[in-house]
Amino acid sequence: MQDVVEHRSKMVKTSSLSLLVFLLLIQCLCKIAKSTEEEMIALKPEDIIVKISPGLVNISWTCTIKKNMVYRIDICENHLIDEEFNLRKCFHEIKADFELHKGVSINITPGKHGEQFKWNVTKFFPSGDMNMSAENISCTVYNVFYMDCSWDVGREAPNDVIYNFSLIQKSKTLPCPRYGTDSRGRAIKCFLEVSNIDTTSTVYIAVTGTSNETEIMFTDASFKPVDKEILNPPKNLTVTKTLEGLVCTWEKPSDTFQKHCFQYELQINQESHTIEKKNTFTIPTHSPDEVLTIKIRATYVELCGKNGWGEWTEPLTYGKYVDLFSSSWDDLGKQHVQFFLFLAIHSVFHYICNGLLMGVSNLCLRALPEFQLPTTVH
């Protein structure tokens, strides 16, 4: 009898514990559901205001939110910025290193519940008249030392428009040190030294316009300077005759990148060859009577940059009767040199001899007595 009582007592305790766990689970689920409902309904920001300036997106809203709730914001327009912020702060500022003048779309997601609760905020544009802003802004890096950025005056720009250029990289802002102007004195170019810029990191550039007549929208762009670089020609292109054939060698352009970052286009007469990460090329066969015209240019391999081809070297000629002008002489070239030296010495000797003969002749004529013809008397 006592065993039966103890067994029933254990069953009651187990049932009570199970019921307690069940009630706690129900309570947690209710709290989660209530929290989700608050996020979806009560905590939506109101009267969102977006202001866009060069390199900055400032978002603010009416401060009616009382709870500390972490939200995520996405700014989408070719680029994606994903940041967390708290609605209770009533504002959020984002530093952008991509184009803003074409407008940005903004999405706000409450909590951590994903796409199903995303609020889409309409597309926003910078303030000002876009038809008066600078157009076709572009930049080119030359000779590793300086960058040239240019733009066109806006189609409907007022007569008193003034354009100002600035460059932002890693929170550092560089104003334009030297402008180029058009015939009416309006700034249309900016010249900067590359030594102040990290060419492998993204730069953000903006051209703002001011006028006493109206507000002008800014124009901006972003890129890696290395992708806009026009490389100098490779250095010291030479051609040497060996047992294997004619060997072309050269040195990489003046640049901070290592040898493995370059690829080359070697043009021999009308035939082109692409060479990567090497500074030599062998022409296996060459007729002694054939004249070769050789030049070369460089660009970066894709891992180092995405620029176009650089400048060509001056054409180098090699072959019969022109080896004298190549960077290295073979036996035929030495024979040409000897022949030309012989002609030069012979010409000088001939000139000296002629001069001596003429001088002796003049002396002899002066030494002879003057002879006068007899006068006829009528």
- Dump pLDDT digits (tens) for 104-131: 887 776 655 545 556 666 788 899 998 9
Beta-bridge partners for 103 = none
* 145-182: pLDDT as tens digits: 889 999 999 999 998 999 999 999 988 899 999 999 99
* 97 contacts 117 by C-beta, under 8 angstroms: no
Q: Reply yes or no on whether the pLDDT at 236 is more than 60.
A: yes
pLDDT tens profile 56-86 = 888 887 776 656 655 666 665 555 566 666 6
Would you say residue 291 has pLDDT above 60?
Answer: yes
Q: What pLDDT sits at residue 328?
A: 44
- 165 bridge partner residues: 207
- What confidence score (pLDDT) does residue 323 get? 44
- Per-residue pLDDT at 106: 77
Residue 322: pLDDT over 50? no
The tens digit of pLDDT for each residue in 323-343 reads 444 444 444 455 555 556 666
Query: Between these two residues, 39 and 230, which has the higher pLDDT value?
Result: 230
Query: Higher confidence at residue 293 or residue 33?
Result: 293
Task: List, for residues 22-60, the tens digit of each pLDDT value.
Answer: 556 555 555 544 444 444 443 566 778 889 999 888 888
238-263 confidence digits (pLDDT tens): 999 888 889 999 999 877 788 888 99
Whether 8 has a pLDDT exceeding 60, the answer reads: no
**How would you list the strands of the sheet with 235-242, edge to edge?**
235-242, 245-251, 280-283
Cα→Cα distances 358→63, 105, 142, 237, Å: 111, 96, 61, 50
The vertex-53 CA angle with 49 and 54, nearest 5°, equals: 155
The answer to whether 209 touches 161, Cβ cutoff 8 Å, is yes
pLDDT band (50, 70, 90) for residue 12: very low
DSSP letter for each residue of 32-49: HHHHHHHHHTTT--EEEE
pLDDT, the chain, mean: 76
Phi (first) and psi of residue 195, to 5 degrees? -60, -20
pLDDT (0 to 100) of residue 5: 43
Give the pLDDT score at 38.
Answer: 45
Higher pLDDT, 321 or 185: 185
User: What's the half-sphere exposure (Cβ side, CA atoms, 13 Å) at 9?
Assistant: 6
pLDDT given at position 189:
96
Tokens of residue 48, six digits: 């969102």
